[in-house]
Structure 1
Amino acid sequence: MAEKPKIAKDIDSNINYLKELLGVGESFDVIFREYKFGRRRGASFSINAMVNDVVMADVLEHMMAQGQEELSMNILQKLFYSRLTHSQVKLVDNMNDAITSVLSGEMLFFLDGEGQVMVVDARSYPARMPSESNIEKVTRGSRDSFVETLVFNTALIRRRLRDPNLRFEIVKVGTRSQTDVAVAYIKDITNPELVETVKKRLNDINIDGVPMAEKAIEEYIAVGSKWNILPKVRYSERPDVAAVHLLEGHVCVIVDTSPNVMILPTTFWHHVQHVEEFRQNIIVGSFLRFVRMGAILFSLVLPPLWLALVLQRHLLPETLTFLGPRDPGIIPLGLQFIFAEFGIEMVRMATVHVPAAQSTALGFIGAFMLGEFATKVGLFGNETIFYIAVATVGTFATPSVELALAIRTFRLALTALVLLFKLPGLLLGLLGLFFILVFTKSFGIPYLWPAIPLNVAALKDVIFRLPIPSKVLRPAVLKPQDKDRLEGRTHKGPQKKKKEK
């Protein structure tokens, strides 16, 4: 590793170096200012709109207040330890760290004759305040969600977990972007090997920048087949969801400029659960979970199964002879489903791209276009529209957008197999999907755990919404250091272990 260039004691050398590197005079947002403190010269560098002017005025006021007799050698140390009241100040002795700091929004202050630079964290990022999540809405519960500012997101989690063992470790990703990525975990709960694995993969990222934030980072750290479309991590916009997973022993990756926190490792069952289940009664919550799982299953198999049975009507029992199109339409049935899938995806994409005021109107237009008008002109049959509509509604039952899109892709593949090979094609496709689920892993965790491999106690927890007081054990597959939630550590130190019966 190359040695980092040191801060020169000659202030002109530092000024000229940074002026050329940062483009002072070329980039209007790079602010350079010189000062006079008696016989000593000072200079500052900062980025416009990223520094709080009120804080900096207070810092400079303390600098100006020092008499000429105090502006001797080691003045930075004197100011640092006895004068500056701002809490987030540090002394840096190399140019690389200083450059990273100023481009991150901190202010650099040089003083002639000093081999260090004072870095004042007076950042004031353009930021929005926490508001309700658009994806993970609840009828009852908190309405705050993550935003694009890293320190706001860590504060939202820290507010819910006042545990001294909660850690937020910063990793810089991207040689040019220097994106701040925080690895969140609870030190005495989370498996240390998992934490080290995540940090190592983050440090191994070799790219100039990650402006696409969390998704680009996921493709680097979620090792596995790039052709497997099943989501290996879970995204959440809710601080309470992130806090629950941290208490279970998961790791959360928080990327600056992104309102989505990455939770890992995850299984299939993490993507079919929703916080709404835990805001309702136990029975109601279990019912909601059954409905959601049933909707996802129908979304996957209903259209291809109906198509397979209709194409081979001799396989239908007498009780199901009513199945089948009365008016099949001009286009063959198999192609109708494929074209309808493309039509629905077009409407979905259009509603995302148009302004919010027009999205509702566009949805009505799409519904009429794909529904009533398409059947009237004879392009599609009524049954085709019905089953595609049921499948589409089922797709939106999961709060995981990534899983919903994966299910839609699998459904399209199953429909194509049925069109080519009829019922054997459907069975072959479902068997292939099962093997994909079985062999998929997220950071070494089997995707179908606790169903495969079987863990009966944990399986009951993912199928039913169990009472919170009964959930005293953390998921064994995460290998947590503290397995029992009733015997966790507090700020007073480890509690005495209960006598085993």
Structure 2
Amino acid sequence: MKEAFEEYKDMKIDKDLDKNVNYLKDLLGVGESFDIIFREYKLGNRRAASFSINGMTNDVLLTNVFQDMMVFKQEELTVNALQKIFYSRATHSQVTMVDNLHDALISMLSGELILFIDKEDQVLVFDARAYPVRAPEESEIEKVTRGSRDSFVETLPFNTTLVRRRLRDPNLRFEIVKVGIRSQTDVAVGYIRDIVDPKLVETVKSRLNEINIDGVPMAERAIEEFIARGSRWNPLPRTRYTERPDVVAVHLLEGHVCLVIDTTPNVMILPTTFWHHVQHVEEYHQNALVGSYLRLIRFFGIMISLLLPPLWLALILQHHFLPEAIAFLGPRNPGVIPMGIQFILAELGVELVRMATIHVPTAQSTALGFIGSFMLGEFATKVGLFGNEVIFYTAIAAVGGFATPSVELSYAISLLRMGLLVLVTFFKIPGLLAGFALILILLLTTKSFDYPYLWPLVPFNYKALKDVILRLPMPQKFLRPALLKPRDKDRRGDSDSD
């Protein structure tokens, strides 16, 4: 695959305009691809030619720039023509000189215009991109009652601007790494230079550069599977996604690295622990007590989502182990299908409804939800297929799963719950205990960029764990997470950094 690109990777710009033009015409398929725009010009006594992509450049802006360049007299461009054009006539603020054909070609395919001038061994690159873009809107996943309503879009420069608007720090860096041999997708590695651990930045960039594939059209998900080392079959999310620029700003201030990927509104935050996926920005738009209450409710919802159905199933399958005080837990009307199979079918039904509501138009999703609830709930119990308790506990588990702001963690919990139900169905209480042990081992062995997934619980750090369990008042949050090994550990401006 790489061989197709090695041909021009180190190729320099030829001083013969015709050689450059003929080579690129053949390579780009000028005349075959309707959207490749080729133009020829006369600048003083020099011939010139440009390549661009239709629909990706700001034609009005470039028209004004080229009008300025067309006023040269013939004798003015006899020597140092490119330098004179660059410094006196190329008035566009984002114009550079490039001497490598590969770099010029990638710039053109990214939406920039490249201008060749006869007898010059460099090319002018005008960054006048005009990508199709939608306006920032409120995130559908991370809604808040208070706080900003803007969220990321599919255009990388817009997204970095939203972050810089919140962090006017000269040490904020966004380094571009291109991923994909053919796609050449722009990935901006964001970090604050005097806070982040330099080893973390180097690890992230090296893993991005090691990606060897033709393209990453699925953007963030494909990139995560390459850079998040470990088992590819581990369902636990090891990076966090967000569509909110304020969430990215907070994590940058803590010492995280954020990947802003072109063509996607999701920014990747890394490394992350389990606790990052159970926190929500809403907690920080309420006072500390209310925020702590919301966080504890969310922990409880996630816990019952994972444990309640398999625990209840294990107890009623071995009812003789129940003490008299909770003997009422047994089913009143068990239905005609074995209880374990009922739970598995109910879980599959809930997932089918969730998938269907995503795929159908918004106007139909509400109606589909009603249909699914009646089919899975009322009618199934009336005909005797399911017991009432199965529907009840499955519904509680589904609601608890929706409590987490991380879609990835919600799906992981659903999958782990299904595994526990299968084990309990076949092995009862021993299966439940074995399932709990396997989940605990999975949590303990999972790492995100070599950082322990359960920190600060394992390894134990009391001060950090207190901040995880409770939403502390902001004046008390003056230390950055020790896990990230930040260069500046103290968030107070009047303190000395290490």
* Structure 1 unaligned residues grouped into runs of 5+: 488-494
1:39 equivalent in structure 2: 45
**Is the 2:14–2:120 Cα contact (8 Å) retained in structure 1?**
yes
Paired residue for 2:349, among 318, 329, 343? 343
Deviation at residue 73 of structure 1 after TM alignment: 2.4
**Is the 1:329–1:381 Cα contact (8 Å) retained in structure 2?**
yes
- Please give the secondary structure, in 1, of the residue aligned with 2:329: coil
CA distance in 2 between partners of 1:85 and 1:12 (Å): 26
Paired residue for 2:359, among 353, 360, 370? 353
- Pair 1:439-2:445 in alignment: yes
Deviation at residue 152 of structure 1 after TM alignment: 0.4
CA distance in 1 between partners of 2:33 and 2:114 (Å): 17
Which 10-residue stretch deviates more, 167-176 or 319-328? 319-328
CA distance in 2 between partners of 1:36 and 1:450 (Å): 66
CA distance in 1 between partners of 2:205 and 2:91 (Å): 34
Amino acid in structure 1 at the alignment position of 2:208: L
Aligned pairs for 1:88-487 (under 5 A) are 88-487=94-493
2:3 equivalent in structure 1: none
**Is the 1:73–1:113 Cα contact (8 Å) retained in structure 2?**
no
CA distance in 2 between partners of 1:67 and 1:120 (Å): 23
Deviation at residue 375 of structure 1 after TM alignment: 0.8
Taking every aligned residue pair, what percent have the same amino acid on both sides? 69
Deviation at residue 327 of structure 1 after TM alignment: 1.0
CA distance in 1 between partners of 2:459 and 2:278 (Å): 19
1:49 equivalent in structure 2: 55
- Please give the secondary structure, in 2, of the residue aligned with 1:486: coil
1:62 equivalent in structure 2: 68
Deviation at residue 435 of structure 1 after TM alignment: 1.2
CA distance in 2 between partners of 1:442 and 1:59 (Å): 48
Deviation at residue 37 of structure 1 after TM alignment: 2.8
CA distance in 1 between partners of 2:163 and 2:50 (Å): 34
**Deviations 1:6-58 (CA, angstroms, capped at 9, x unpaired):** 11111111110010000000000000111123432111100000000011101
**Is the 2:77–2:84 Cα contact (8 Å) retained in structure 1?**
no
Paired residue for 1:87, among 90, 93, 106? 93
**Is the 2:44–2:71 Cα contact (8 Å) retained in structure 1?**
no
CA distance in 1 between partners of 2:61 and 2:125 (Å): 13
* Structure 2 unaligned residues grouped into runs of 5+: 1-5
2:496 equivalent in structure 1: 497
**Deviations 1:38-82 (CA, angstroms, capped at 9, x unpaired):** 432111100000000011101110111222221222211111112
Tell me the TM-score normalized by structure 2. 0.97
- Pair 1:16-2:15 in alignment: no
- Please give the secondary structure, in 2, of the residue aligned with 1:208: coil
Aligned-pair Cα RMSD in Å: 1.3
Deviation at residue 496 of structure 1 after TM alignment: 6.9
- Please give the secondary structure, in 2, of the residue aligned with 1:453: coil
Tell me the TM-score normalized by structure 1. 0.97
Amino acid in structure 1 at the alignment position of 2:100: N
**Deviations 1:451-499 (CA, angstroms, capped at 9, x unpaired):** 1111000000000010001000000110000000014xxxxxxx6739x
Deviation at residue 83 of structure 1 after TM alignment: 2.2
Which 10-residue stretch deviates more, 69-78 or 200-209? 69-78
CA distance in 2 between partners of 1:470 and 1:104 (Å): 45
CA distance in 1 between partners of 2:272 and 2:43 (Å): 57
CA distance in 2 between partners of 1:266 and 1:189 (Å): 17
CA distance in 2 between partners of 1:372 and 1:397 (Å): 24
CA distance in 1 between partners of 2:295 and 2:389 (Å): 28
CA distance in 2 between partners of 1:85 and 1:227 (Å): 53
Give the number of aligned pairs.
492
